[in-house]
Structure 1
Amino acid sequence: MPITKPAPLLVRSTVIVALAALASGCTSTPTATPGSCESVPFTVHDPVEPVNRGIFAFNRAVDDYALAPIARGYRKLPDMFQAGVHNFVANFGEPKVFINDLLQGNGQRSVNTLGRFAINTTVGIVGLIDVSGKLGIERHESDFGQTFGVWDIAPGPIVELPLLGTANLRDATGKVVSFAVDPFGDNSDTVETLGTIKTVGGVVDGRAQALPLTDKLQAQPDYYVALRDAIAQRRADFVAQGKLGSVQDAPHCGDEGAANE
């Protein structure tokens, strides 16, 4: 009989479980109840603004002629369909939320995320139905940009990424790391197909969620500055929330929550 090596997925799962035990047993994260909408101070450092504006013009053209029209059509679909897409996209992203919960040393959040993923993937039909939410286990967001912020890494200068939009250097790096991290290991054809659906659905659903905010910001004298500052505020609030360690996300101020979608 040939000797088989442990599957990469099993190795990754073992490491994650070990990290979960370490986070739960060795860290103490305060549990806070999200309060009223309060924004934290933020600064914007945009030393290469002319370059960023050039890339922003390209991104806006793609958005105006492709993404935004598709998103507006999507918003006309039945609410049940939109909710299903939104829930599926969020559920497929839960493993990365779980990883970031661990990296932030938040044992309670990581347990909630793991429980949500297990329940919604099974009972909720691969996440189409947010059964966990109905049971009182609320969804929260977490990403590598937030994790770097919780680690007190400075936001850095503003960078406009082609097709990916506006971000500070810390969040842009977080996006790159997120692309490189694959919690599912060696993907089967089914997982790869679901991943493709998640990516497409996430782009459309995220843009649809952001439409109310971007429509309002486009009415400002300088859309670039208005959107850049809205995103900076939202991300500053998001990092502060991560440092607080709330089990649930705090409410976004106005529509700023959509600025980074």
Structure 2
Amino acid sequence: MRSLLCSTRLCRHTALLLSLSYLAGCTSTGSATQPDCAKVDYPIYDPAEPVNRGVFAFNKAVDDYALAPVAHGYRHLPDFMQQGVHNFASNFGEPKVFINDLLQGNPQRSVNTLGRFAVNTTAGVLGLFNVSDPIGIPRHTADFGQTFGVWGIGNGPIVELPLLGTDNSRDSVGKILNFVVSPFGDNSDTVQTLGTVAMVGGVVDGRAALLPLTDSLKTMPDYYSALRDVNAEHRAAFVQEGKQGATDPAKHRCEGATHDDF
């Protein structure tokens, strides 16, 4: 039993490393497109840019040689397998979305999230099948960085953390909280194992979805600033979406990437 527990913890640490290396390029859920097609304010204050660029070079190497190749291979899997991984990982993350819905003071969003999780976990076989969308319960996303923004906390300076990637100070703290908070607790080996599978699958699936974006940004003269600026715009739009509290954000977005793709 102890051996199994140690193995599970090792898997969780490995999954966390993969998650953090993924975040070297982008944040967990979002889009560079504004929810209501209007301009949003995304001031960029990067006083430690020389240091940030040095850390960014390390993070990029981790992504280039570890995660991106895995993501490219993943894209060759059959579509139904990729969809299953996406559905399972998204469903496992719903409890954290629910917590942030409550913290943002949005009861309607929280009810939708709870309903999705209940339906997809049961009728959808632990979330492998998305049965909520067809019955009119669309998915939205939320994280602690968005919650802080809804509360009125400012962006703060840009910071590039090893493996955690580029973000403003507010969202960096929120990103760390997103990993630390565990709605399911640590008392069940089964839940820990499922959580590890969901984390690894979600990281690879999310990175694969971002390949076209990052490949495009890499062709620009300055990859660091291009990625930093796109991420800043995305996060500003994501906070605005949280303030609007729409239960179906897709109806309020311009055409293009969704928050699930970013």
TM-score, structure 2 as length reference: 0.82
Q: CA RMSD in A?
A: 1.7
CA distance in 2, matches of 1:185, 1:252: 38
Name the aligned partner's letter for residue 112 of structure 1.
Answer: N
Aligned position for 2:206? 206
Segment drifting more, 85-94 vs 179-188: 179-188
Following superposition of structure 1 onto structure 2, how do residues 1-261 of structure 1 map, counting pairs within 5 Å?
A: 36-249=36-249, 250-251=252-253, 254-255=256-257, 257=259, 261=262
Name the aligned partner's letter for residue 47 of structure 2.
Answer: P
Are the equivalent residues in 2 in contact too, given 1:84–1:129 (CA < 8 A)?
A: yes
Higher relative contact order (CA 8 A, sep 6+): 2
TM-score, structure 1 as length reference: 0.83
CA distance in 1, matches of 2:35, 2:194: 36
Are the equivalent residues in 1 in contact too, given 2:35–2:237 (CA < 8 A)?
A: no
- Unaligned ranges ≥5, structure 1: 1-33
Segment drifting more, 250-259 vs 230-239: 250-259
CA distance in 1, matches of 2:90, 2:111: 16
Percent identical residues: 65
| Inter-CA distance 132–193: structure 2 relative to 1 (3 Å threshold) | same
Are the equivalent residues in 1 in contact too, given 2:98–2:114 (CA < 8 A)?
A: yes
Moved over 6 A (4+): none
Cα deviation for residue 187 of structure 1 reads 3.1
Cα deviation for residue 183 of structure 1 reads 0.7
| Inter-CA distance 166–103: structure 2 relative to 1 (3 Å threshold) | same
Are the equivalent residues in 2 in contact too, given 1:55–1:160 (CA < 8 A)?
A: yes
CA distance in 2, matches of 1:231, 1:109: 24
SS of 2:159's partner is strand
Are the equivalent residues in 1 in contact too, given 2:35–2:238 (CA < 8 A)?
A: no
- Unaligned ranges ≥5, structure 2: 1-33
Cα deviation for residue 180 of structure 1 reads 2.0
Cα deviation for residue 254 of structure 1 reads 3.9
CA distance in 2, matches of 1:247, 1:256: 14
Name the aligned partner's letter for residue 229 of structure 1.
Answer: D
SS of 1:131's partner is coil
CA distances 1:200-234 after superposition (whole Å, capped 9, x unpaired)? 11211111111111011111100000000000000
CA distances 1:149-178 after superposition (whole Å, capped 9, x unpaired)? 000000101111222211111010001112
| Inter-CA distance 48–233: structure 2 relative to 1 (3 Å threshold) | same
CA distance in 1, matches of 2:145, 2:161: 15
Bigger radius of gyration: 1
Name the aligned partner's letter for residue 60 of structure 1.
Answer: K
| Inter-CA distance 67–100: structure 2 relative to 1 (3 Å threshold) | same
CA distance in 1, matches of 2:194, 2:38: 37
Cα deviation for residue 36 of structure 1 reads 4.9
